[in-house]
Structure 1
Amino acid sequence: MDALFIPLAGVVGASVDQIKLITCLLIAYPLGSLFIRIPSNQPALKHLFNIGITLLFFFPILRLYSAFFQLLASILATYYLTRNYHGSKMPWVVFCLVMGHLTVNHVIRAVYNLSYETLEVTGPQMVLTMKLTTFAWNVYDGRRPAADLDKWQMAKRVTQFPSLLEFLGYSFYFPGILVGPYLDYADYMDLINETMFKKLEVKGKYGRNVPSGRKRVAYRKMIFGLLYLGVYVVFGSWNYGVSLTPWFVQQSLVSRIATYQVCGVVERMKYYAIWTLTEGASILTGLGFTGITPSGETLWTGAANVNVLVIEFPSNFKVLLDAWNMKTNVWLRECVYKRVTPKGKKPGFRSSMITFATSAFWHGIASGYYLAFLTGGFVTTIGRLARANIRPLFLEAPGTPPSIAKRVYDIVGMVITTLLLNYTASPFMLLTARSSFITWMRLGCYGHIVIGGSMAFFYAGGSKFFRNLQAKQAAKVSHRGSPPGTPENEKQFMVPPSFDQIVPPQK
């Protein structure tokens, strides 16, 4: 089938593998409409449909024969272990097995110096790694007392072990097999059985359980995804690599920093494109339904992996992380961050750094990944310190409109967050430590200055200073007889950013 893709790749100016990937994502749209028409009382047909479409993607279109059988080997090994190994270490054995397999392929990719445009096993394997390790924890939770589980663990636990066909259907869910979104087994079975739809009193067209509005949302996602892709194709030369060109050196420091912010927007467009396209295809299968508004409009936000507006206009780094690669953040939080924390203790710095390291390890072996996530860990720390110490001073009483000071604080926070995002993310794209350090030097090391200066300030007495200001402000408000402003709930999980590249990940 390459004869169909080679001419198109020449016209667009992209690689054949990239054209194939986009083609698969677009083909998934009409296939998603076929999938949802399979009756819910025929679950086996839905599982077989997922497996069949995945075979279509991997064999005649992508020609990834070895990749498919490698994924199948990880799936069968996970199925065997989770079914037969009842020990408490079972999830970690599965984790080490599938992550180790992924790392071997990351090494092979690095040895052969494959470009990010080359589609091979590691892209789909990264998605599958999340699914298999999550399934292992879900099975483990299904064997534990309910009193020991939190809300997420109770909702996602597997108490009835699936058949092999069900597990293969879950593993090869076709809209997400190449670039995600990753989903857990409970959500997959709800999709197969249409559980979330059967609870609704409102029916869709022709008396079906599926509510209306799905196609409208899905095809709107497709249009936006193609627009993002078009922006990247037209302006793709404005990327983080521009920092390594002679032209960049000739610019003033302010111009370099400003240029890099523009490059960051263009770099993110390819992620927006891929994740938005696959979200739309998933919605067509029925995934992502989150309810109905009082006006009767259906909501389909459960398959989202990115919130573009929040990322481009973030109020702080925590909000940005929550909106970027959201499904991977869930996986890291539920399968790493919370699991490495000893029972009865709150997650702390150790849990956070293990989670950051896991995220970097999952992405590959390039030194740029580790520089990006290490820097991101420190950015998260200073962001938490700012929210705890400075932000409460600008909060008004509940129900009161934000003051001018609060609006200025939010604008300043947005600018600083965006500057730190593009500074921190650059090593992830540049890959090598040498290129990363050169870039940081040419940007005046502004990110490290902000990070180092902030940490020195807060730990050298800044935190105590702002805590005293908070106490004085609360005393004044209390003296006037009005309740002080209540800060937002700052309880959070420090989930590392996942600056994924268009699948397959750049190595």
Structure 2
Amino acid sequence: MEEPLMETSSILKTIADSVGIGEPALKLLLSILLGYPIAIVHRHFIAKQPPTTQHVFIVSCGLLLGFYNFGIEFLHSTANMLFIYGVLKTIGGTAHSVIIALVFNLTYLLVGYYYTSTESYDIVWTMPQCILTLRLTGLAFDLYDGSLPEAELNKDQKLNRLRELPSLLEVAGYTYFPTSFLVGPQFPMRKYQEFIAGRMKGPTETSAHNISPAIRRFLLGCLYAGLHTFGNSYYPEEYLYSDEYAGVALWKRIVELGIWGHFVLYKYISIWLFTEGSCILIGIAYNGQDASGNSKWDGCANVDLWLFETAQNFHSDYIRSFNINTNNWMMQYIYKRLRFMGNKYYSQLGVLLYLALWHGIHSGYYMCFFMEFISVFMEKDFENVVKRNEVFAERLQDPVASNLKWLVLKIYTLIFMGPCILPLAVLKFDKWWMVYSRTWFFSQIIWGGWILYKPLVKKLLPPRRDRRE
């Protein structure tokens, strides 16, 4: 058996080298694409079987993909799952079980990062482990919400709460759902239960209705993968450290950094589109019906392409359009639970700190989310200054001024995406510091320096009401 395995590995390595990615990345991509045949098998042969049969099929597929990518180390996820299940089985849905889940899941992940991290992105067992961390922590929260009076719950809590702990097989199926456990997306246990029960479709839905939206997302994934490959061929990461980059004019360095950052994001978008397509095909992406009675299949969407490509700011457009399910999870289980702190900025800092820890221990993660914080703070504050000057704000609504504003803000988001995503992409301090210094820290000066030049802006745009009032 060893020779065929060695031959397969050799073939994969040859293909990976020819397309310029590592073998682990190629195996991960193949595993994500295998979600499509798995979805086809489930919808044709497994979907109408009893729940136990479905759970076994889902767990088996997930474990096989996990072992294919990470070998015996993939059992870390099983150990983590069994511990959390034991806690929930023993003490139920309580505040104590939520705290234990929060601390244990994140600590297990951070220890894994510590022992496996290198100088770059690592496709090791910690990758699906970070998905599992949110999934099992959310499970503890949902079980806790199920023990609270309904009057104390918000809309999302009422929708996702669990009255009782699901079986171990059910939790395993939820954990290892084959089209989402490797790189996401996130969804609550209640959604998985609805899927197993066959309720993730419209009242007149046929099994073929979700094929077209699944194919569209797959083809869009191929498009964005091609765009990333094209962009990376012109602006590889190594270019940012080269003497050639250091030698061009400052304005060109800034613009090229923005273009590079945009193409970097296409890598994540392509992967999310591939996984979304398989989630649509298997049926778990069902999201109710629109006003016309047509089924919506955006329940596992992790990117809003139109909003992303037309984004005018970071604090609203980019955050709402990118990594949607993780952002929704953070809003539901972290941000809203920090309301007792009495300050939205404290809650936001709590979310960003949790996000940074969840991503890993590299300095780039913390710098990236610091950049997000100061950009959101500056943009929101600047918008408030503009809104108070109603005359100026109204003039911006004129057709010519509105189009000019759109163009300026589009250029702004394109350029500033580079320094925002830079530390997340390159991770190491010496790398992102070099590029920041080569672009004269322009983004930190404009975003972080807002406190210093805000009085001047307020003087130029003093609060004024429209005289017609």
TM-score w.r.t. length of structure 2: 0.91
Superposed, 1:309-458 pairs within 5 Å as 309-317=306-314, 318-342=316-340, 346-391=342-387, 393=390, 403-458=399-454
- How far apart, CA to CA, are the structure 2 residues paired with 1:255 and 1:62? 41
CA distance in 1, matches of 2:238, 2:333: 34
CA distance in 2: counterparts of 1:44 and 1:464, whole angstroms: 68
1:317-355 per-residue CA deviation (whole Å, 9 max, x = no partner) reads 12111111111111211221121221xx65422111111
Q: Is the 8 A contact 2:255 2:415 kept in 1?
A: no
What letter matches 2:441 in structure 1?
A: C
Structure 1 Cα separation of the partners of residues 458 and 397 of structure 2: 27
Once the two structures are superposed, the pairs formed by residues 46-125 of structure 1 within 5 Å of their partners are 46-59=54-67, 61-67=68-74, 69-86=75-92, 87-110=94-117, 113=118, 115-116=120-121, 118-125=122-129
Extract unaligned runs of 5+ from structure 2. Answer: none
Counterpart among 272, 277, 280 of residue 277 in structure 2: 280
Task: State how far apart, in whole Å, the 2-side matches of 1:91 and 1:477 are.
Answer: 55
**Cα–Cα, structure 1 residues 467 and 414, in superposed 2: closer, same or farther, change >3 Å?**
same
AA partner of residue 468 (structure 1): P
Are the equivalent residues in 1 in contact too, given 2:241–2:435 (CA < 8 A)?
Answer: yes
With over 3 angstroms needed to count, the CA separation of the structure-2 counterparts of 1:83 and 1:411, relative to structure 1, is farther
Distance (Å, rounded) in 2 between the aligned partners of 1:196 and 1:415? 41
Contact 1:170–1:185 (CA<8 Å) still a contact in 2? yes
How far 1:109 moved relative to its partner?
1.9
Q: Which residue of 2 aligns with 1:242?
A: 239
- Cα deviation, residue 421, structure 1: 2.2
Secondary structure of 1:299's match?
Answer: coil
Shift of 1:231: 2.8
The answer on 1:43 being equivalent to 2:51 is yes
Equivalent position of 2:170 in the other structure: 166
Is residue 120–residue 427 contact of structure 2 (8 Å, CA) maintained in 1? no
Matches of 2:403 and 2:436 in 1, distance apart? 30
Is the CA contact 2:259–2:418 (under 8 Å) kept in the aligned structure 1? no
Shift of 1:293: 4.7
Residue 255 of structure 2, aligned match among 254, 258, 261: 258
Q: CA deviation at 1:406?
A: 3.0
Higher relative contact order (CA 8 A, sep 6+): 1
What is the distance in 1 between the residues matched to 2:127 and 2:468?
55
Q: Percent identity?
A: 25
Deviations along 1:252-283, whole A, 9 cap, x unmatched? 01111121122112211210111110110111
My pick for the range that moved more, 408-417 or 374-383, is 408-417
CA–CA distance in 2 between the matches of 1:382 and 1:28? 41
RMSD: 2.4
Instruction: Write 1 or 2 for the structure with the bigger share of helix.
Output: 2
Identify if the C-alpha distance between structure 1 residues 258 and 89 changes in structure 2 by more than 3 Å, giving closer, same or farther: same
Is contact 1:379–1:420 with CA below 8 Å preserved after alignment?
Answer: no
Residue type of the alignment partner of 2:184: G
How many residues end up aligned between the 2 structures?
456
Distance in 2 (CA, whole Å) between partners of 1:84 and 1:258 is 56
Matched, 1:19 2:26: yes
Taking structure 1 as the reference length, the TM-score comes to 0.84
